[in-house]
Chains A and B, each alone.
Chain A
C-alpha cells in the first residue's frame, strides 16, 4: 500500500517536473508560497471543495491549480477511484515530495539569497 502511494506520488511529481514552471521560483520563500498555494488549491479542486480565487494572487494560484487538476484527472485514471481522504493524503505526500525536491533537499545555492 505504501509503495503504491509512493509510486502514484512519483507519477504526479514527474508530471509537474516535466510540464510546470511554478515550482521553480528563485527563492525559498517564493517556492514555499507557490507550492503551498497551488498544490493546496489543486487538492481542493480534486476534492470538490470551495477554492478561494478572489484576490489577484489567489487567482494566479488557482489557474495553475485548475490546469494541474485537469491534467491529473485526464492522465491518471486511478485518481477517479480514490475517495476524498485518500486524495488528501496523496496530495499531502505530493506537497512534501515537491517541497523536498525544490526546497529542503535542493542543491540550489541561490535559494537563500535575501534579495531578488
Chain B
C-alpha cells in the first residue's frame, strides 16, 4: 500500500493510513486510504460535527422553514452562513438563525418548557411561516430533553403548523457526514408520504443532493423545465418543506451529491420503487451525459439534445479561452466530501489543469474510490487532514491554486497559495454550462491575479521593483501563449452577466402536452 506519512504527523502513527499516493500501476485495490472514522485524538481536524452536517448542510437550505437549534446559542451562531445556499424567497432561511439559548440552569433543570416557549415565539414572530425544523445539539441530547414530545404538543395546540425534529447531536459523529445520514433517514421516516402532490407532467423527478449554492439548483431547474420535467422536490437547496413531504410520488430520483443524500434515494428505491440515477452537474461532458440520461429515461432525449447543443455552442468557446490559459496549472482539490470526484476529471479534461492532490474532510472510502479513480497518477489523496498536514502538502506540492473551504483557504493565503472556496464558491453558480465557465474564470483570476506576485515580496528585505507598474492578469497569463491562441477569433472570455440568475427567475417556459393523466 503506497501510504504517505507526513513529517508533521509522525507523532500520530495512526494518521499514516489516511493518506496514499496514486502511483504508477496502482489501482483501488492497492491505493485507498482509511476514511469515515473518528478523528484521531491529537490531530486537529478540519471537520464539522454531526449537528452541523444535519442542520447546516441538509436541513437549512429548505427555504420556507424556521430552523431552530435546541442548545447553546454558539452551536447555531458559529455555523450560521457557512454556505451560500440562496433561495428564491428572498433568502429567508439564510437571513435568520434561531436557537433556544440553553444555559447552565437548563442543563440542571431541563429545557423542554423553554423549548416550547421558543417554538411559539418563533412562529409568532414570523407568522407567515408555518413549518419548522428543530435540531438537537450535544447539550440537549445529554440532558435527555424529549424534543419530539414537545413538537407534538405544539402541533396539537397549533394545527396549522408542522414540525420536523432531527436528533443528530454533534457527538454522534464521526463527522458532519454522520449528520447527513441521520437527517436523511429521519426525513424519510417522519415526513415523506404525508402529502399528495399535484402532478403536472408525465415526467416527474426529485432532484436530490443539490443545495443551490449561489444558485446551482436554479440553473439545473432551467434545463429540467426546458425539457418539460416536473421537479417534485429538491432535497434540499431552494426546496420547500411540503414539496419534500411528497417525494414518494416521483418517477425518478436524480442524485447529485451522493455523499450527503444517497441514503434517502436508497430508501425511496427500497420503499417506493423509485430508481436512483446518479448525475454530474459539473463539466460540459458530464452534464450533457446527465441530461441525456434523464431524457432517455423518459423518452424525451431530443429535448435534452437540443439543450446540450444550444448551451455547448454558446459557452464552449469561452471555456476554451480559459482552458488555453490554465493548461498545466497545478491544483489541490481539497473540498469537503463530493466535489473531489465531481471535479477531478472534469477540470483536468475541460480546463487543462492537473490535479496533484485530492482530499476529503468527511468523505467515506467510497468518495475516495471515486476521487482517486478520477485523478491522474502521482496524486496525493488525504483523508481528514489536519492543518499541519495541509501546510506540509502545500509547501511540498507547490500548487498554483487550491479549492477548499474558508478555514483552510485562509491558511493557504498565508503561505501565498491562492484559493477558491469549494464549498460556497467565489462567483458562482458554478453548475451548468455557463456556471462551468464562471468557475474557469474564477480559477483564472485566482492564479493570475497580480496581487499574488506582489504578496511574495517582503518589504522588510526584498527589493521592490519601481520600474514595473501596471500589470493585468492577461499580461501574466498570455506571456507564453502562441499567437494562434492570443489572437483567436473563436475563443473569448466570459461574456455572461454579473448576476446570471436574474433572467432565469423571470423566464417563462413552453408547456408540453401530457400523454397521460396521473391518478395521484
Contact = CB atoms under 8 A, between A and B. Distances in A.
A24 B370 contact: yes
A57 to B, nearest CB: 5
Contact of B297 (A19, A25, A59, A107): A59
A18 B280 CA distance: 12
A17 interface: yes
B373 to A, nearest CB: 4
B83 interface: no
Contacts of A19: 285-286, 289, 345
Interface string A90-115: 00000000001110011111100000
A77 interface: no
B150 interface: no
Nearest to B32: A107
B276 to A, nearest CB: 7
Contacts of A17: 373-374
B275 A107 contact: no
B374 A60 contact: no
A58 to B, nearest CB: 9
B273 interface: yes
Contacts of A30: 266
Contact of B366 (A24, A63, A64): A24
B56 interface: no
Nearest to B376: A18
Interface string B29-49: 100101010000000000000
B79 interface: no
A18 B345 contact: yes
Interface in A38-62: 56-57, 59-60, 62
A30 to B, nearest CB: 8
Contacts of B275: 56-57, 59-60
Contact of A102 (B251, B252, B258, B369): B369
A76 interface: no
A116 interface: yes
A39 to B, nearest CB: 16
Given A108-B32, A110-B365, A116-B266, A101 B258 contact: no
Interface string A65-96: 01100000000000000000000000000000
Contact of A107 (B29, B278, B293): B29
A63 B254 CA distance: 13
A56 B369 contact: no
A59 B252 CA distance: 10
A96 to B, nearest CB: 13
B297 A106 contact: no
B286 to A, nearest CB: 7
Nearest to B275: A60
Nearest to B288: A67
B58 to A, nearest CB: 15
Contacts of B262: 25-26, 116
Interface string B345-369: 1000000000000000000111001
B277 to A, nearest CB: 6
A78 B258 CA distance: 34
A102 B28 CA distance: 8
Interface in A9-33: 17-19, 21-22, 24-26, 30
B296 A66 contact: yes
B292 interface: yes
B5 interface: no
B387 interface: no
B366 A56 contact: no
B202 interface: no
Contacts of B27: 101
A107 B365 contact: yes
Contacts of A101: 27-29
Contacts of B266: 26, 30, 116
A106 B29 contact: yes
A56 B365 contact: no
Nearest to B273: A56
Given A63-B277, A67-B289, 15 more contacts: A19-B285, A24-B258, A26-B364, A30-B266, A56-B251, A59-B275, A60-B275, A66-B296, A67-B293, A101-B28, A106-B29, A107-B28, A107-B365, A108-B364, A109-B34
**Top 4 nearest A-B pairs by Cβ distance?**
A105-B29, A60-B275, A17-B373, A21-B278
Interface of B: 27-29, 32, 34, 36, 251-252, 258, 262-263, 266-267, 273-280, 285-286, 289, 292-294, 296-297, 341, 345, 364-366, 369-370, 373-374
28 contacts: A17-B373, A19-B286, A19-B345, A21-B258, A21-B278, A21-B341, A24-B258, A25-B262, A26-B266, A26-B366, A30-B266, A56-B273, A57-B275, A60-B252, A63-B293, A63-B294, A64-B277, A64-B293, A67-B289, A67-B292, A67-B296, A105-B29, A106-B32, A107-B29, A107-B32, A108-B366, A109-B34, A116-B263
